[in-house]
Amino acid sequence: MAGVFIHITGNALPRLTQIANTSGEPADVLDDIGAFLDMDVTTRFLREVTPEGRKWEQSQAAKDRGGLTLTDERNLAGSVTHNVNGNTLEHGLGEKYAAIHHFGGEAGRNKSVTLPARPILGIAAVQETEINDIIADWLI
């Protein structure tokens, strides 16, 4: 996966720990969270927004072809994936160039193009609420 990692702390952590202690295997709930995050990112590609809901700066390619930013052939959006290994959830993008689009920076031959940051992955208030709801469902 691309080199964008998020370490979850906060409200969800004690509840995930409770699930792990109760069931001994948190993989199912982590898989549900991963599936939600996959869907969230895929939906946000269509809306062209950050996890917080801020609009991405439109790319020149999208302006030229009248399409969506970062979705010319949908390779990046199609690479959204998650993996659960024990008590670890990895969620990310499978394309090597994902990080340059997420963080922005210089790209192209001789780093002749500066790409703006267009955050793709992340957990903001909306995602945090849904993750807590998923966990609450498992605790009931």
**pLDDT for 1 beyond 50:** no
Terminal CA-to-CA distance of the chain, rounded, Å? Answer: 33
Mean pLDDT calculated for residue range 69-85: 93
- Residue in this structure with the two tokens 């979850």, named with its chain if needed: 8
Q: What is the pLDDT of residue 16?
A: 66
What is the C-alpha separation between 87 and 82, in angstroms, rounded?
13
What is the C-alpha separation between 45 and 55, in angstroms, rounded?
10
pLDDT digits (tens, 9 = 90+) for 3-27: 445 555 566 667 667 666 666 567 8
In this prediction, residue 137 has a pLDDT band, given cuts at 50, 70 and 90, of confident
Q: Position 52: which residue type?
A: E
The secondary structure of 121-140 as a DSSP string is S---HHHHHHHHHHHHHHH-
pLDDT digits (tens, 9 = 90+) for 99-134: 999 999 999 899 999 999 999 999 999 999 999 898
Torsion of CA 121, 122, 125, 126, to 10 degrees: 30
- Residues with Cβ within 8 Å of 77's Cβ and at least 6 positions away in sequence, in order, are 41, 42, 45, 70, 71
Is the distance from CB of 82 to CB of 90 less than 8 angstroms?
yes
